[in-house]
Amino acid sequence: MLALDRPAEAEALLDEGGGRERRLLRAASHSAQGRHRLARRAINGLFESDGLEAPLAVDDAPLTLEAFHVKSERSVAGPRISVIVAAKDAQATIGMALGSLQAQSLSPIEILVVDDASSDETVAIVSDLAAADPRIRLVRNDRAAGAYGARNAGMRAASGDVMTFHDADDWAHPRRLEVQAEALKTAAASVGSYFRLTPQGRI
């Protein structure tokens, strides 16, 4: 219904109950109709229902990735995790993506940014961040290998006990790695959930 630009009908199908999927659908419906305050509340509720801090201020501003922020001084020790970030012409978002990884509650981590022959300022931005934070390491492909080729290069360069991936245009809650590492105590692997946000603030 949202894809057909019929948000009111989509909303009518949703009640106030349900799990994270319904919360996210309600947020998408609110966002599509310009009800940004309600969309922000719904997204905050999504995180809070999983015991995580709310990432958004509750106001009437349209949703953007830059609006997601959690101020936390939490620090948790865990396995050394290598976070592999494949980047290609990502100057517009790489700072935000790496900032969310630098804010992770779990340590130690290494952040491996594999630049896939970018033609913009991605390398310069990452180099500046790496100079200020030894957890960030830049790996450069001489020629474009594609996202999976870049991730494979990151895996070869990784030194952590555990590996995970993060896209160059993604924001991660500061407890993402902490929660995933906790799951690994009783499982061989852990997976997470994402939702997409368009440049126009639509979910």
- For 140-158, b/e burial (b = at least 16 CB within 10 A) is ebeeebebeebbebbeeeb
pLDDT of residue 72: 80
CATH number at residue 115: 3.90.550.10
pLDDT, tens digit, for every residue of 123-141? 999 999 999 999 999 999 9
Q: Which domain holds residue 56?
A: 7-67
pLDDT tops 60 at residue 23: yes
pLDDT, tens digit, for every residue of 71-127? 888 899 999 999 999 999 999 999 999 999 999 999 999 999 999 999 999 999 999
Number of domains the chain is built from: 2
The mean pLDDT value for 169-192 works out to 92
Q: Helices 20-32 and 36-48 sit at what angle, rounded to 10 degrees?
A: 160
Q: What is the C-alpha separation between 178 and 72, in angstroms, rounded?
A: 13
pLDDT of residue 99: 97
pLDDT tops 90 at residue 26: no
Q: Are 117 and 60 contained in the same domain? A: no
Coil/strand/helix, residue 67: helix
Output the average pLDDT for the chain: 91
The answer to whether residue 202 sits within a structural domain is no
